[in-house]
Amino acid sequence: MAVVNPVRKDNAAPDVKPIFEDMTKKFGKVPNIFGVMAHRPDVLAKFLPFYGAATGEGTVEPKLKEFAYLKTSLVNGCEY
Helices (H) and strands (E) in the chain, counts: 4, 0
pLDDT in tens, 27-78: 999 999 999 999 999 999 999 999 888 888 899 998 999 899 899 989 998 8
Tell me what pLDDT residue 80 has: 62
Of 35, 31, 34, the closest CA to residue 11 belongs to: 35
Domains and CATH numbers, the chain: 11-75 (1.20.5)
Which pLDDT score, from 0 to 100, does residue 28 have?
Answer: 95
The Cα angle at residue 66 between residues 63 and 70, in degrees rounded to 5:
135
Q: From CA 3, how far away is CA 56, in angstroms rounded?
A: 30
Alpha carbon 14 to chain centroid, angstroms: 18
Q: Quick one: pLDDT at residue 56?
A: 87
